[in-house]
Structure 1
Amino acid sequence: MRKTRGLRGHRFAAALAVTTLTVLGVAACDSADDEDTPAAAALAWGPCPAAAPGVTRDPRLTCAKVKVPLDYGRPDGTTIEVGISRLGAADPAKRHGVLLLNPGGPALAGLDTPGAMAPTLPKSVLDGYDLIGFDPRGVGTSTPQSCGLENPSVAALFPYPAADGSIDANVQAARATAGKCAAQAGENLRFFTTANTARDLDRVRDALGEAKISYWGQSYGTYLGAVYNALYPDRADHVILEGNVDPAHVWAGEAESWGKGMAERFPDAAAVAASQNSALGLGATPAEVTQAYLALVDRLDQRPAPVPGTPQSLSGAMLRSVTYALLIHNDTLPVLAQVWKAATDLADGHVTEADGKVLTQVFADSPATPGVPADNQATMFLALTCGDAEWSHDVGSYAQRTAADRKTWPLTAGMPANIWPCAFWPQPAEKPVAVTAEGTRNTLILQNRRDHATPWDSGIGLRHALGNRAAFVGVDNGGHYVYHEGSACADNATVAFLDTGRLPDKDLDCTDVTRQ
């Protein structure tokens, strides 16, 4: 597995934690905090907090804290801290400003994102910008929140139905999880939202002493960037949104797009497995591999397979989550084919030495960041997806929608339409921010055609919402990331925008993808 692109070449176990988004319809705008914020005191830059074991941190990074209101409706009330990091512009004489970076999630920490992104960027960008990372409110070093969940994995939240399609257990689990968050994290969790995170970014802008900020958001970070651009259109300089959320579908509607997205992306992996049929025996064509996969997850739904040397068993839901994670990158598709082979052998009761090595990676624990609760990302995933916009509370309706989704999109087994803890969540603290075409033309949208995490349709939805504010770069590629993934057409447009501020005159259709 290639590891030359920082976060994008993440360890296998880390890939399982990077779940990437979902979304429900956007209501009318209620953009609080329109007034200028008071001038901030000088930031105290210093060493960054301890990283998780095994994480390589760029030694040039320095870190600081910015105090922000917990509730922007009470700006003089309780405050929380937001951790930020900085990789300074290489040539101060050519410095254009700051470029804030967000890796998505929802709820991924971002202090190390500047160091991870820097090797992929040309000298012109590194000369021209301070790269600024941040842990969003409630995440990592930024007043981290916890529901006290026994299983800290975000993937464990994905509500796959039972083998027979029943969602009774999902309803019970969703109710229990929502209740646990209410009891453990309390009322304050309602203020850990995307809108408030965007307001935090403006406090960061002020603390940095900048009139404007540039921003690059990936995955969930596209929604955060779109919300910031809506709340503060005069303070956003160059905005890049990569792997996009449709703001009209935040968040239940975005989740329901996963079935179609998986159907569009899965054939890429099936083709890789088919090309290795002599070694893997999963099928000679993508269609045969797909049928073998569906039969395998069905078997594991009915009878999870114990994993030798561990107390765990491989279930259909777990294999689907691993598949989702490894579809995010093209360079992990061969690894995914090996996982399917190992899972097949495990279900058949004869595990080879090679299978054992693959399964060891699957069940490896992700390293914990010192001082951060183990369930922090899962907690904040729920806080954002449940707290940004209201979900249906009609429990009975979920079974019908799940059954229909399960039939239409068998690869996701009805999970995207199923009930989440959001059905039992308190009413959001405010309505979603309206993302519209009003404002400066300052946004570049990067979108792959076969992105299962934020599908093509979601990118088109954001394109329509932003209208003439944006230029759209569509790439004939699979996976969740666009920049530095083999398209010179997309890369050149991105760098030109950062260097000059000029967007393409018209939307681009990039078909020049080469495998790296």
Structure 2
Amino acid sequence: MRRTLSLTAVLTTAASLLVAGVSSAEPDAAATPAIAWADCPEGVAAEGVECGTLQVPLDYRDPHGRKTEIALSRVASKNPAQRRGVLLTNPGGPSVALTFPAQLRDVLKMPQSVLDAYDVVAVDPRGVGSSSPVSCDLTEEQQADGSIPPYAVTPGSVRERAAEVKRIAEQCLASPDAEALPHNTTANAARDLDVVRAALGERKVSYLGYSYGTYLGAVYATLFPNRAERVVIDSNLGAQGWDIEATRAYGQGVEDTFPDFAKWVAARPELGLGATPEQVRAKYFELAGRLDREPVHGVDGGIFRLLTFVSLYRGTDAANQALATNWRTLAAGDPLPLPPGELPDPSEVDALISGRLHIVCGDSRWPKSVKTYERNVETDRKRFPMFGAAGGNITPCAFWPDPVEQPVKITDKGPRTVLVVQNERDPATPLALANSMRRALGDRAAMITVDQGGHGAYLVGQNACANDKVTAYLLGGERPARDVKCAAETPAQQQDPVETGVIG
């Protein structure tokens, strides 16, 4: 694998680490073939992990028509006496999910009691990873444009970018995989999960999803309310999923989360980045402006802002130290070191970004007018000056066809089976989005908010209060009777399990 990907592409890839007319009736279990479990392919293979595939309808409105293949992995319970069922999982993205069961076990240290209680199963969403992957034939430069928009330095930046992302959309529409494009949606990915449930011979399944996986879980619980037994959604998108407002929310997320980093730096004046949180914030704008005018070894202000955004995902001492070191390096005019290990193959990045575009752009109707994005950028530049002009920027979704079906509306109809978990300060999915999801679910849900920053709470943030409450719900169905808040814990109690990019 080459080590020539642009830094922008590397950081964008790291950040990934985001029903009218169609029946939601359960699949016919008798007609659903059993899964033939086998060894996993390279990159997924790990001790105790099995993999399999299923054929599902490309278009559920035509269940006997063309099929598409989905891939899944499993870490099966080894304790028959304690096993209670299947826990479907999704780490977010939309991204590769097959490695997630092993990561939950080995990296995030899921309690053994939960591993005993469930077969932990993950499914690559259709069009992503090993599930009939798609390609938009993206160049390495284009791969950096397919996920988090770059910061629009000037008002003209939006119109310049519009021409670039229009080409990306046109490539996706002209690719050999374009036939799948209208059908690679979250609604169909949720229907795929119910095919998996039937193939596993389960009457009900439980679910644990992070980031984009929260919307997938909420859609599944909406389409199949009597099949979703215990649903935990953590680091939540809003009730509308990953739409234009979710992308614009990056601006608010950075404003919410950055003060934690600023306080950490201010407590270490020897770093030379500011002795007060206000001075650290001013240093951010100083460095960003300087790099806008004069990039350092290929790192411009946009990459600097993106690097900061990605680092805020983790919210730990280790992440803060790494980010502060990068700031000092750039302030000195020195080059940033390349990430350790091999960089991802460009073809793998193409598949990841292309699959994500299929789902995100196809889930909702995005504004078509470039002027809308110009207005959004200028509004968000003032509301959220640190990153708003990135979140408001135009994406390939502006040039996407309208969805073939209405988005699934998340409502309060169904049993009280959903537990919403959310850090109060999250750069990618801020608390405002979780509150939107919580309101839509109404009496179906209870919510745990955690007084900490970073993307991911259960097992990720190492908060004992949140971990204990979620584990108790997964094991015994003991869900809080009302919304609760978990207090902050000392940094010494936190680890940094997201260094490996587990949560998307």
Q: Which residue of 1 aligns with 2:420?
A: 445
* Match runs of 1:325-344 below 5 Å: 325-331=310-316, 332-344=319-331
Q: 1:366 aligns with which of 323, 337, 343?
A: 343
User: Relative to structure 1, is the Cα distance of residues 319 and 30 closer, same or farther in structure 2, using a 3 angstrom cutoff?
Assistant: farther
**154 and 433 in structure 1: CA distance in 2 versus 1, 3 angstrom threshold:** farther
Note the C-alpha offset of 1:275: 2.7
Structure 2 Cα separation of the partners of residues 153 and 100 of structure 1:
29
> 1:513 is matched with which residue: 450, 466, 489?
489
What is the alpha-carbon distance in structure 1 between the residues aligned to residue 265 and residue 143 of structure 2? Answer: 28
Query: What's the counterpart of residue 472 of structure 2?
Result: 496
Q: Which moved further from structure 2: 195-204 or 157-166?
A: 157-166
Residues 381-415 of structure 1: CA deviation (Å, up to 9, x unaligned): 21122100001112222212211111221111512
Q: Deviation string for 1:308-343 (max 9, x for gaps)?
A: xxxxx1121112222111111123121111111112
Inter-CA distance 429–477: structure 2 relative to 1 (3 Å threshold): same
1:319 lines up with 2:304 in the alignment: yes
CA contact (8 A) 1:272 1:337 kept: no
**C-alpha distance in 2 between matches for 1:449 and 1:38:** 41
**Structure 2: any 5+ residue segments left out of the alignment?**
1-8, 495-504
Alignment partner, residue 103 of structure 1: 91
> Offset at 1:366?
3.3
Query: Alpha carbons of 1:15 and 1:386: their partners in 2 closer, same or farther (altered >3 Å)?
Result: closer
Residues 262-287 of structure 1: CA distance to partner in whole angstroms, max 9, x if unpaired?
10101112222223331x31111121
Question: How far apart are the structure 1 equivalents of 2:230 and 2:179?
Answer: 36
In the alignment, what sits opposite 1:462? Answer: 437
* Length-normalised TM-score, structure 1: 0.87
**Aligned residue in 1 for 2:499:** none
Q: Residues 210-232 of structure 1: CA distance to partner in whole angstroms, max 9, x if unpaired?
A: 11111100000000000000000
Partners in 2 of 1:440 and 1:36 — Cα distance?
20
Q: Would you say the 8 A contact 1:452–1:479 is kept in 2?
A: yes
Contact kept in structure 2, 1:219 and 1:244, CA below 8 Å: yes
3-state DSSP class of the match of 2:81?
helix
Partner of residue 62, structure 1? 50
1-structure distance, mates of 2:27, 2:149: 42
- The whole-number CA distance in structure 2 between the counterparts of 1:160 and 1:14 is 11
Question: Aligned partners of 2:97 and 2:118: how far apart in 1?
Answer: 17
Tell whether 2:143 aligns with 1:148: no
Aligned residue runs from structure 1 range 387-398, under 5 A: 387-398=362-373
Q: Separation in 2 of the partners of 1:131 and 1:161? A: 39
Matches within 5 A, 1:129-148: 129-148=118-137
After TM superposition, give the deviation of residue 249 of structure 1 in Å: 5.7
- Residues 119-164 of structure 1 show CA distances to partners (whole Å, capped at 9, x for unaligned) of 4222221111001122111111111111011126456643335433
Partner of 1:25: none
TM-score by length of 2: 0.89
For the pair 1:158 / 2:135, whether they are aligned, the reply is no
| Correspondence 1:480 to 2:455 | yes
Of residues 498-507 and 266-275 in structure 1, the stretch that sits farther from structure 2 once superposed is: 266-275
Aligned residues: 475
Unaligned runs of at least 5 residues, structure 1: 1-11, 22-27, 307-312
1:345 aligns with 2:342: no
Q: What residue is the counterpart of 2:170 in the other structure?
A: 179
Q: What is the alpha-carbon distance in structure 1 between the residues aligned to residue 413 and residue 78 of structure 2?
A: 35
Q: What does the per-residue CA deviation read over 1:440-473, in whole Å, with 9 as the maximum and x for residues that have no partner? A: 1001111000011100011111111111111100
Return closer, same or farther for 1:154/1:60 CA change in 2, 3 Å cut-off.
farther
Cα gap change, 1:333 to 1:104, in 2 (>3 Å): same
Given the alignment, which residue of 6, 9, 17 partners 2:14?
17
| 2:360 corresponds to | 385
1:113 aligns with 2:111: no
Secondary structure of the residue aligned to 1:93 is coil
Aligned ranges 1:61-460 → 2 under 5 Å? 61-105=49-93, 107-119=94-106, 120-151=109-140, 153=143, 157-166=147-156, 167-184=158-175, 185-248=177-240, 250-278=242-270, 280-306=271-297, 313-331=298-316, 332-346=319-333, 351=334, 358-361=336-339, 366-368=343-345, 373-460=348-435
Identity score, percent: 38
